A and B are shown apart, each in its own frame.
Chain A
Amino acid sequence: MRNVLASDTFIEITYLIATALFILSLKWLSSPTTARRGVFAGELGMLLAIAGTLLHHGIVEYKWIVIGLVLGTIIGVPLGEVAMTAVPQRTALSHAFGALCVTLVGTTEFYLRTPDVPRFMMGVLSLEVILGSLTFTGSLMAAGKLQEILPQRRSRIRDRTSSILDSWLSRSLSRVCW
């Protein structure tokens, strides 16, 4: 039984069903009469995707996964119970967390494979990490401004930092060029 459950085909079927459920979920959510069903389909899809991954034969250690899931739930519950007026900053913060996850997964993948990263994968990982970290810091800024922790005016990196960055960049570039 364990062999059947851990087979690649079974996991791929689980992912396929989860994907279909996500698409249906977004479609159902667009109308108030079917919105509840949409949320349910999303929850079911996520459960299937996680369960399918946990059954993957490559997963040998569950300790850190369980710790991560429990900690995430502890943080997630209060984030799901904020006042409706705080939803904008909650959404921004949530974007930041999602981007953090993607960035860390990309970084870890690179770290584990380096120095033999295929060219195409290197491109994909670079994009993933660049966009992920951009979204992470940008969303944190947005959340901070919406919560009025950060000043509302336009922020920029301090001149001193940017001039250090400038000189460092021009030095590295000239090294590459010559």
Chain B
Amino acid sequence: MSLTNALDAIAVVGAIIMAGQYHAHRATLAKILGTIAIVAATSNIVGGFLITDRM
């Protein structure tokens, strides 16, 4: 279950593109939302793999 949570965090790929892409306009909000999305997904990757490893 925790591993599927970790794999589900593959959405981080989309978040990375949002936060790192060049935006001609509306850049600030896109970067803020992208960064929050990266934080949420990364916590799943790290937490999910750590807990699966312990089981």
- Please determine whether A87 and B38 come into contact, CB atoms closer than 8 angstroms: no
Contact of A61 among B20, B39, B45, B47 (CB under 8 A): B20
Q: How large is the interface on B (under 10, 10 to 19, 20 to 34, 35 or more residues)?
A: 35 or more
* Number of residue pairs spanning A and B whose beta carbons lie under 8 angstroms apart: 192
20 A-B pairs in the complex with CB atoms less than 8 angstroms apart:
A22-B10, A46-B9, A50-B13, A58-B22, A61-B20, A61-B31, A64-B19, A64-B35, A72-B46, A79-B50, A79-B51, A80-B46, A80-B47, A98-B40, A100-B37, A100-B40, A101-B41, A104-B15, A105-B11, A108-B33
Instruction: Point out residues on A near B: beta carbons under 8 Å.
Output: 18, 22, 25-26, 29, 38-39, 42-43, 45-46, 49-50, 53-54, 56, 58-62, 64-65, 67-69, 71-73, 75-82, 87, 90-91, 94-95, 97-98, 100-102, 104-105, 107-109, 111-112
